[in-house]
Amino acid sequence: MFGSMTMSDVEFLIKWLETEVVPKVVDTLNKQYYKVKCTWSPVENVYFLSYVFFVDLTFINELDIVEETLHLAIKTPPPFTEVIERFRTEILYENEIIFYQHIAKNNKSFPKFYYGACEDMKKTVIVMENICKMGFKLCPELYDIPLKYIINSVREIGRFHAMGYIMKERSPEQFITVCKSIQESRLIPGKSFHHIINTIGTRPVEWLRKINYDSDFCDKMDNYLGDAFNTILLDAIKPVEPLAVLCHGDFTRSNIFFRETSNGVDAMLIDFGMITYASPSIDLSTLLYLNGSSNDRKEKFHEIFRAYHDSMFNYFHEAKFTNIKQYSFDNMVKDYKRHAAYGFIIAVYFLPVLRGFCDSSQDSQHELHHEESMQTKRTMGGDVMSSIFADMLVELRDTGCLDHVLN
């Protein structure tokens, strides 16, 4: 099957990692004079756009005494040229390395970064701390995730955004350099994602017309969602000051790990290949519409957004950052409502996969041949998903997130 990894693939990659990559990690740690034992975990983390290997590095001194063991997660691209070219995989790795080297360096809020290289896709790799060994786990639910996970996720992204706002003001030259270095991997006009988004965008409207919903609303939404790639996605990632900030860009349940503690729940972000300078709402809306429940968006939105905003302002306070007037609760909510449809469109695109109507590997393989996949994408999940997306669209209107279109 296309994209599958054979045992020979595994053996080849592990040999390369052990003979070429691990020694470079050892060099960065100044442990060249130690004996190093590598213990590889069984390979279970095979994804369409990356392979993740877990390895424990045990350092043994000249007295044959174990001094330290490092638990590492090593990520490499798949060895398939078509995947790399279509999904611009090299950019994801370049962006993530930029993030770790220039933004998150020595920051305990993120996994430790040990080594990264992306000059040659055949030797592209990222080596970081294996946070699972620290007790971090993914939320077990794929969608409609419990409110406690939503709350702790938005608190973490609040700190992340606050860090970006502070960097933008206190280190403007570095911030500008980083933003200019980041490359867009997915939202490229004229590419397959552009056409797929515009094909699936009006799916909720089709359902509303089927049940004889307000025709005037449907007409306006057909115009708006028929070019959703431009009117929603590109509009949200165009930086508008002063609220534009460095965003995670793929703020979903899959990229947030949690750890239960005596003080509550800790959250940690991973996978920064899609970082972008844009409206903070792209992160919040993606999580809420793709992974959150309709009830929490409707009934708990104020609580969720307050947790996000309070976390951001707590970070400001700890950093003694005082230029905060523009980041008021009202201003941030206004910006969120203006761009909440971003997360809605991402949900229309990917929620059927999360709900089990197609596995992610098969879905990504379809996208390699986007002309064939567009109709599949538009109908995936049938009436069940069409009805859910229609309800989401009405929810956007009822919560004021379409006022800029309807008024």
pTM across the whole model = 0.93
Going by pLDDT thresholds of 50, 70 and 90, the confidence category of residue 385 is very high
Check whether residue 208 and residue 118 sit in a common domain.
no
Check whether residue 71 and residue 150 sit in a common domain.
no
CATH number of domain containing 160 = 3.90.1200
> Does 324 score more than 80 pLDDT?
yes
> Among the three residues 102, 134, 166, which one is the final residue of a domain in this structure?
134
Does residue 373 lie within any of the structural domains? yes
Task: Check whether the bond before 242 is cis (ω within 30° of 0).
Answer: yes
Check whether residue 123 and residue 176 sit in a common domain.
no
Check whether residue 168 and residue 55 sit in a common domain.
no
Residue 229 DSSP SS3: helix
> Among the three residues 134, 159, 178, which one is the final residue of a domain in this structure?
134
Does residue 1 lie within any of the structural domains? no
Does residue 223 lie within any of the structural domains? yes
Nearest to 347 by CA among 338, 339, 355: 355
Check whether residue 83 and residue 232 sit in a common domain.
no
Nearest to 126 by CA among 99, 157, 103: 99
What is the count of structural domains for the chain?
A: 2
Check whether residue 121 and residue 74 sit in a common domain.
yes
> Among the three residues 134, 164, 193, which one is the final residue of a domain in this structure?
134
Q: What is the pLDDT of residues 156-168, one digit of tens each?
A: 999 999 999 999 9
CATH number of domain containing 99 = 3.30.200.20
Does residue 2 lie within any of the structural domains? no
Maximum average pLDDT range among 23-37, 44-58, 86-100, 161-175: 161-175
Check whether residue 323 and residue 306 sit in a common domain.
yes
Nearest to 157 by CA among 274, 259, 246, 261: 246
Check whether residue 84 and residue 148 sit in a common domain.
no
Check whether residue 115 and residue 163 sit in a common domain.
no
Nearest to 289 by CA among 237, 346, 224: 346
Check whether residue 267 and residue 124 sit in a common domain.
no
CA atoms within 13 A on the CB side of 169: 17
Query: Which structural domain, as residue segments, surrounds residue 16?
Result: 7-134
- Name the helix (H) or strand (E) containing 346: helix 341-354
Mean pLDDT value across residues 58-63 = 92
Q: What is the pLDDT of residues 330-344, one digit of tens each?
A: 999 999 999 999 999
Burial (0-12, 13-18, 19+ Cβ within 10 Å), 400: middle
Q: What is the pLDDT of residues 119-177, one digit of tens each?
A: 887 889 999 999 999 999 999 999 999 999 999 999 999 999 999 999 999 999 999 99
